[in-house]
Amino acid sequence: MTRTIHLALHPYGVGGPGQHGLWKDPRVAKNASIDIGYYIRQAQAAEHALFDALFIVDSQFINATYPSHYLNRLEPLTLLSAVATHTRHLGLVGTASSTYNSPFNLARRFASLDHISGGRAGWNVVTSFDTGTSRNFGFDEHLDYATRYGRALEFVQVARGLWDSYEDDAFPADVARGVFLDPERLHALDHAGEHFKVAGPLNISRSPQGQPVIFQAGVSEEGRDLAAQVAEGIYAPGGSLEQAREYYADVKRRTAAYGRDPDHIKIFIHGGPVVAATDEAARRREREIFEEDNDFASNLALLGRSFGAYDFSAHDLDAPFPDVAHLAEKGGRTGAAKLIERAREQNLTLRQAAESVNEFRRSPFVGAPETVARTIEEWFDAGAFDGINLAFRTDEELELFVDGVVPLLQKRGLFRTEYTADTLRGHLGLPVPANRHTAARTSQNG
């Protein structure tokens, strides 16, 4: 089978990390992040372009310094349930924390979205980046890395067990015999593990795709290992071509080491293409975007997120970068470690470190449509990704990509010209997981 590119859309709303000035753009509605009409329009545009999925990020902690979109946004599963009723094919991927949810409730909510959408749901499993989230759930401290990732692995295992509560033929609904449920096809989970004790069964049947698709976005050793064990889709950090290739090869290698088919895990990199009539015009626009977002106070707050939303404004900006390594252990450890290492090696002041978190970096996917399509093809052929999680600042910029770049990818045979499946698993070329109880019985009888 010819390998083709997968495309997902990640709406920015009024602007997340690094898009500090987006809310000021006159083309962006100031209530976009809580306007369901905005998300429906984005989803319908993505579906018209034959994209694989819509991806919604989330977090559950804010303070006044957080990005505009984070301050006032809709809960992902509620949002996606509404979008599901206005789309037919597009996958619907929502972010939810394994640290601050219970497996039974979250498994039920994703199973519900899967049914509402006809088998298009995906769960982006996060362990929660923001340390302050703990105080919103009655805990004094955020869990450490090892505990969070151990809990995440068990959480996914429990959810998958709950999603197998009913076998596919559990409901004969035979009026003549007066039999609605075949009780032999209903199974309690009776899970008792290190982090969870869940009896089950779940009170909702399997969807047309069997189970929601599991996504994950780990960069650390623990994150990569979790992805290799349970993920079917990954949101990768991207970076340079070489960095993307290294990450891609590493995760595929780890996946195979766990006895899984590497083709059954699809790796998406982040992409914020800038498309214009000419390469020169696109590069000009790319620089304009940087200037629109280059706000020092926001950059300083963004730096603090990697250290548990730490307030760096209390320090002398022109003194050496302070010793805050102890704050990273329960927060964004991987990103924080890189910041600390760079500050030490380059002898950066706090001001310089803050400026570095949003310094101008040229994107590879910028230019005229032909240039962007050619670069996407080069990265794809080089083994840097299976798909791109696309983000656009405005509806107009999404349209430029859809109308200019997508047809060129289709002409090259790299992207679909029509939907050939109705489920997210079908779009991604992933198998429908067999119900474990059906498979066990079949094995015994065979």
Q: What is the 3-state secondary structure (H, E, C) of the chain?
A: CCCCCEEEECCCCCCCCCCCCHHHCCCCCCCHHHCHHHHHHHHHHHHHCCCCEEEECCCCCCCCCCCHHHHCCCCHHHHHHHHHCCCCCCEEEEEEECCCCCHHHHHHHHHHHHHHCCCCEEEEEECCCCHHHHHHCCCCCCCCHHHHHHHHHHHHHHHHHHHCCECCCCCCCECCCCECCCHHHECCCCEECCCCEECCCCCCCCECCECCEEEECCCCHHHHHHHHHHCCEEEECCCCHHHHHHHHHHHHHHHHHCCCCHHHCEEEEEECCEECCCHHHHHHHHHHHHHHHCCHHHHHHHHHHCCCCCCHHHCCCCCECCCCHHHCCCCCHHHHHHHHHHHHHHCCEHHHHHHHCCCCCCCCCEECHHHHHHHHHHHHHCCCCCEEEECCCCHHHHHHHHHHCHHHHHHCCCCCCCCCCCCHHHHHCCCCCCCHHHHHHHHHHC
Which residue has 């999404």 as its token pair?
398
For the chain, the domain total comes to 2
329 pLDDT higher than 80: no
Q: Are residues 43 and 139 in the same domain?
A: yes
Q: Are residues 76 and 205 in the same domain?
A: yes
Separation between Cα atoms, residue 290 and residue 19, nearest integer Å: 9
Number of residues in the chain: 446
What percent of the chain stands above pLDDT 70? Answer: 98
166 pLDDT higher than 80: yes
| Strands 266-271 vs 274-275: parallel, antiparallel or unpaired | unpaired
Q: Are residues 79 and 148 in the same domain?
A: yes
Q: Is residue 286 part of a domain?
A: no
What is the rounded average pLDDT of the residues 97-111? 97
The pLDDT value recorded for residue 222 is 86
Give the pLDDT band (50/70/90) at residue 140: confident
Q: Are residues 43 and 173 in the same domain?
A: yes
In contact, 121 and 113? CB cutoff 8 Å: yes
Separation between Cα atoms, residue 185 and residue 310, nearest integer Å: 51
CATH classification at residue 244 = 3.20.20.30
330 pLDDT higher than 60: no
Q: Is residue 122 part of a domain?
A: yes
| Strands 121-126 vs 6-9: parallel, antiparallel or unpaired | unpaired
Q: Is residue 55 part of a domain?
A: yes
The pLDDT value recorded for residue 331 is 57
More confident call, 332 vs 342:
342
Q: Are residues 242 and 319 in the same domain?
A: no
The pLDDT value recorded for residue 141 is 86
Q: Are residues 374 and 349 in the same domain?
A: no
CB-count exposure of residue 16 (10 Å: 0-12, 13-18, 19+)? buried
The pLDDT value recorded for residue 185 is 97
- Range scoring the smallest mean pLDDT among 298-307, 404-413, 416-425: 298-307
Q: Is residue 237 part of a domain?
A: yes
Q: Are residues 305 and 225 in the same domain?
A: no
pLDDT tens-digit map of 53-80: 999 999 999 999 999 999 999 999 999 9
146 pLDDT higher than 90: no
Give the pLDDT band (50/70/90) at residue 190: very high
What is the rounded average pLDDT of the residues 246-270? 97
Choose the final residue of a domain: 314, 331, 356.
Answer: 356
The pLDDT value recorded for residue 332 is 63
Q: Is residue 289 part of a domain?
A: no
Q: Is the dihedral of CA 91, 92, 96, 101 positive or negative?
A: negative
- Range scoring the smallest mean pLDDT among 97-101, 292-296, 384-388: 292-296
What percent of the chain stands above pLDDT 90? Answer: 78
pLDDT tens-digit map of 362-396: 899 999 999 999 999 999 999 999 999 999 999 99
Give the pLDDT band (50/70/90) at residue 404: very high
Q: Is residue 288 part of a domain?
A: no
The pLDDT value recorded for residue 308 is 77
Domain that holds residue 31: 6-280+362-442
Choose the final residue of a domain: 334, 356, 378.
Answer: 356
333 pLDDT higher than 80: no
162 pLDDT higher than 90: yes
Give the pLDDT band (50/70/90) at residue 326: confident
Q: Is residue 218 part of a domain?
A: yes
What is the rounded average pLDDT of the residues 92-104? 96
Q: Are residues 176 and 90 in the same domain?
A: yes
Choose the final residue of a domain: 356, 377, 394.
Answer: 356
366 φ, ψ to 5°?
-130, 130
Q: Are residues 237 and 346 in the same domain?
A: no
Q: Is residue 219 part of a domain?
A: yes
What is the rounded average pLDDT of the residues 327-339? 71
Q: Are residues 151 and 260 in the same domain?
A: yes
Q: Are residues 95 and 172 in the same domain?
A: yes
Closest by CA to 375, choosing from 400, 403, 412, is 412
Q: Are residues 243 and 303 in the same domain?
A: no
